Amino acid sequence: MPELPEVETTRRGIAPHVEGREVVEVIVREPRLRVPVPADLVDRLVGARLGPLGRRAKYLLVPVESDEPGTLLWHLGMSGSLRIARLGELPRKHDHLDLVLGDGGILRYHDPRRFGFVDWLTGSVGVDRRLARLGPEPLSESFDGERLYRLSRGRRLAVKPFVMDSAVVVGVGNIYAAEALFLAGIDPRRSAGRVSLARYHRLAAAVKEVLAAAITQGGTTLRDFVGGTGEPGYFKQRLNVYGRAGEACRRCGDELRLVTLGQRASVFCARCQT
């Protein structure tokens, strides 16, 4: 599933080709996404201009400037991707939606599993039920060790699913939580309420480091993910623990262990993470 770095990579990849462009045509080939494509989307978008692209957690925000302005809320689901195509470039199977732009570019949505969606928001984006209760962005100043420590007091939940809770901080999915806990030297099985403030400071710093590196390198190469230009991510080449169960720890050489936490597989080093 595309995580925060993949969505941010997509945003940065398509933004120069989309921002400020007029929508001249909307082609909906398959409206039956996880949230059905709004029936009036064509009428709302044709003749409108797209504003600066934003992102909140794993959602892409596309402001629409028109007589009745609004925002496209886009989620890539399990297998979705957005890329820039050109006029005359034939759609592939599972290319469900095109925004044809005035300069000849096409913002094309591809989603084999159809778990993603595009929805229309009117008014303040922050009051939408899907966004209103989200925690801070992990690369913002609002996210730090103090916040993790404060919210974790009295919690018996393991620290890995705790840091993956979007009400605590957004966008720290399974891959990046595993990698950040390894860098911070914290056992993912440890109860969140038994992690000290000093260790939470290390974990917050590790989350920022891991996510920033993943964004710089284009996200993580997963089976279904490509960035806005159609190129895969490359962060997987640097993964320390995720997907490496049974292999040697890059730091100490011990065999990496696999456990299940919160119904998610978690790989860690019992020697380096305590």
Please report, for the domain that includes residue 78, its CATH number. 3.20.190.10
User: Which domain range does residue 257 map to?
Assistant: 145-268
What is the per-residue pLDDT for 231? 54
Given a cut of 50, is residue 223 above it in pLDDT? no
What is the per-residue pLDDT for 96? 98
**Looking at the 3D structure of the chain, how many domains does it have?**
2
If asked whether residues 122 and 149 sit together in one domain, one would say no
More reliable by pLDDT, 188 or 125 = 188
If asked whether residues 153 and 263 sit together in one domain, one would say yes
Write down the catalytic residue from 11, 58, 83, 108. Answer: 58
Tell me which residue of 154, 196, 201, 155 sits closest to 180, measured CA to CA: 201
> Is 2 designated active site?
yes
Given a cut of 80, is residue 46 above it in pLDDT? yes
25: in domain: yes
Given a cut of 70, is residue 83 above it in pLDDT? yes
> What strands lie across the sheet with 23-28, from one edge to the other?
23-28, 95-101, 105-110, 81-86
More reliable by pLDDT, 3 or 38 = 38
Residue 26 in tokens: 């909307």
If asked whether residues 259 and 204 sit together in one domain, one would say yes
> Is 264 designated active site?
yes
What is the per-residue pLDDT for 86? 94
CATH number at residue 183: 1.10.8.50
132: in domain: no
C-alpha to C-alpha distance for 230 and 30, rounded to whole angstroms: 21
Cα–Cα distances (Å) from 253 to 54, 62, 184, 250, 267, in that order, read 42, 46, 17, 6, 14
If asked whether residues 119 and 185 sit together in one domain, one would say no
What is the per-residue pLDDT for 229? 52
pLDDT in tens, 143-176: 999 999 999 999 999 999 999 999 999 999 999 9
Given a cut of 70, is residue 53 above it in pLDDT? yes
> Is 3 designated active site?
yes
Cα–Cα distances (Å) from 264 to 72, 97, 158, 169, 214, in that order, read 31, 32, 12, 18, 21
Least confident residue range of 11-25, 199-213, 233-247, 258-272: 233-247
If asked whether residues 43 and 99 sit together in one domain, one would say yes
Write down the catalytic residue from 250, 251, 264, 271. Answer: 264
If asked whether residues 166 and 237 sit together in one domain, one would say yes
137: in domain: no
pTM: 0.88
Average pLDDT of the chain is 92
The end-to-end CA distance of the chain, in Å, is: 28
127, 158, 185 - which closes a domain: 127
What is the per-residue pLDDT for 8? 93
If asked whether residues 180 and 256 sit together in one domain, one would say yes
If asked whether residues 68 and 183 sit together in one domain, one would say no
Residue 140 in tokens: 């913002």
> Is 136 designated active site?
no
95, 127, 159 - which closes a domain: 127
Annotated binding site for DNA: 94, 113, 155
pLDDT in tens, 228-266: 555 545 455 579 999 999 999 999 999 999 999 989 999
If asked whether residues 212 and 99 sit together in one domain, one would say no
Tell me which residue of 19, 120, 22 sits closest to 69, measured CA to CA: 120
Backbone angles phi, psi at 25, to 5 degrees: -160, 145
